Amino acid sequence: MREQFIETIEQGYQFKGPSFVLGGAMLDKETQTNTLVQLPLATLNRHGLIAGATGSGKTKTLQIIAEQLSQQGVPSLLMDIKGDLSGIAQPSPGHRKIDERHEAIGIPFEAAGSPVEFLSISEEKGARLRATVSEFGPVLFSKILALNDTQSGIVAVVFKYADDNDLPLLDLMDFKKTLQYMTNEGKAEVQEIYGRISSASVGSIMRKIVELEQQGADIFFGERSFEVDDLCRTDELGRGIVSVIRLTDIQDRPKLFSTFMLQILAEIYSTFPEAGDDDKPKLVMFIDEAHLVFDQASDALMDQLEAIVKLIRSKGVGLFFVTQNPADIPDSVLGQLGLKVQHALRAFTAKDRKAIKLAAQNYPLTDYYDVDQLLTELGIGEALVTALNEKGIPTPLVHTMLRAPVSRMDVLTAGEINDVVNHSPLVKKYNQEIDRDSAHEILAEKIEAAHEEDRQEELKAQREKARKSTSSRRRKEKSTLEKVMNNTTTRQIGRTLARELARGLLGILGGRRR
């Protein structure tokens, strides 16, 4: 049986194209020296799963695959949520148990670090990853906010209005300001061209944006936008750059994490050219704590994720989901994963035992293992492995003693992280603060100009009113004066006539006296 097993593994895990050793095959819980389990690079864009209970070695398996890809010239992107992947930048200090493990497998151990770039979507150190609201587009932005059809229609109108009026939507403040303007100062204009906008729906959209802001998304949205081609770099030795996104401060902000993941996947899919069947991937992404992506995803968001997972492999990109149980991954996504590395599962409850039986059904049938039982007995650094061979056929299921990471299995010190960040060309490129005029500033100026125009109109009206009041007063005064003058003149004329008349009469009377 042993000879037949070795022959099965050797035939199933030998490849013509480039590959790397993941570990050594095990039978009856004993490592079969020089019976190597290799992975072909050509099918790693068919995606993969690394699953297992806490402490079973999932993160180290991720580290092994990423550093081996780097040595083969394949760049990778790692989501470091727990903060324990930075050590991939430094060579392993070595250990007696590592030597014993590699001796049992039948391969030498050569310590080496990988070229690393630290990235961040929060306040962690590293090159800042940003994207503008405009780059999301109305459909993706609506799905992130989990909006209904009516609310999504309003978002589409906001994007259309911004396009028609040359209003750059860079950050969440731009979007909110545009939406507020369209429902207040610009309401009449918007209704005439785009139709009526429900104030109740606007309120719901605003609340969803506030929720996103509270998880730190205001830091993620903005400029300078990250160019995904910068994830596909190699160093001067031809090794693939390992980009580590430091996410230790967003474990309690799953909405931000899923927003970022969906955006970067959509951006890669829309910008990368079709790759065809290359002999190795263009990029491999490892999504640690993958349940954070799926737990917070709405149905619409899930549909988008499933579509991207199915289609992105044609761009030469592989996705690896790292989680505790395969049940954390939706069946529609799980069925798309070619490589499966299953570490130990723990059966403490009836529900756990049921989950283990379901997990065992995800793997090819085998005559060499009782999979249900073995899943609970795997040691640290052991896993059940099956992949796709170069023809796309699943390889035999094999109990594998995994090789040790050649890089440090521990975090970098603060000084070592600073050294990587200080020598990063991407930090210099993306950590500049850019605050050009966008929708918020343009509309604020437009509103201020409108208010200034209103003030000028009001002042003009006040001046006109004052002028009319003054003119009226003057006319009144003139009329009064004329009346007075007329009365005075009349009286004067009357007095003159009376005097002349008196003189005449007196003259007559005087003549008579004489």
What amino acid occupies position 442?
Answer: I
Q: Closest by alpha carbon to 249, among 378, 131, 121, 356?
A: 121
Contact 26, 382 (CB under 8 A): yes
For 199-257, write each residue's pLDDT tens digit. Answer: 889 999 999 999 888 877 888 888 888 899 999 999 999 999 999 998 877 666 767 77
The answer to whether the CB of 257 falls within 8 A of the CB of 247 is: yes
Model confidence at 394: pLDDT above 90: yes
In whole angstroms, what is the distance from residue 138 CA to residue 146 CA?
Answer: 12
Position 42 pLDDT exceeds 70:
yes
pLDDT of 506 reads 47
- Residue 501's pLDDT band, with cuts at 50, 70 and 90, is low
How would you write 390-418 as a 3-class SS string? Answer: CCCCECCCEEEEECCCCECCCCCCHHHHH
pLDDT the model gives residue 234: 95
| pLDDT, mean of residues 82-91 | 90
- Each residue's pLDDT tens digit, 290-348: 877 777 666 666 777 788 888 888 899 999 999 988 888 888 888 889 999 999 988 77
pLDDT > 60? residue 289: yes
Mean pLDDT of the chain: 84
* pLDDT of amino acid 92: 94
pLDDT at 505 exceeding the cut of 60: no
Residue 48: partners with Cβ closer than 8 Å, 6 or more residues away: 318, 319, 320, 321, 337, 338, 339, 340, 341, 387
Summarize the confidence of residues 370-376 as an average pLDDT. Answer: 90
Cα(187)–Cα(11) distance, integer angstroms: 71
Residue 512: pLDDT band with limits 50, 70, 90: very low
Q: Is the pLDDT of residue 181 over 50?
A: yes
Give the C-alpha separation, 48 to 340, whole Å.
6
Given a contact cutoff of 8 angstroms between Cβ atoms, the answer to whether 231 and 243 are in contact is yes
- What separation, in Å, do the N-terminal and C-terminal C-alpha atoms of the chain show? 179
Taking only the tens place, the pLDDT of each residue in 429-470 is 998 877 666 677 777 776 666 555 556 666 677 777 767 776
- Across the range 184-199, mean pLDDT stands at 85
Lowest-confidence segment of 119-133, 243-257, 479-493 by average pLDDT: 479-493
CB 50 within 8 A of CB 58: yes
d(C-alpha 246, C-alpha 262), whole Å? 17
Q: Is the pLDDT of residue 480 over 60?
A: no
Show the tokens assigned to 314. 């044609």
Query: How many whole angstroms separate alpha carbon 396 and alpha carbon 6?
Result: 11
Kindly state the tokens that stand for 283. Answer: 């990029």
**Residue corresponding to tokens 């490849």:** 15
For residue 420, the model assigns a pLDDT of 92
How do beta strands 116-120 and 242-246 pair?
A: parallel
* pLDDT value at residue 116: 96
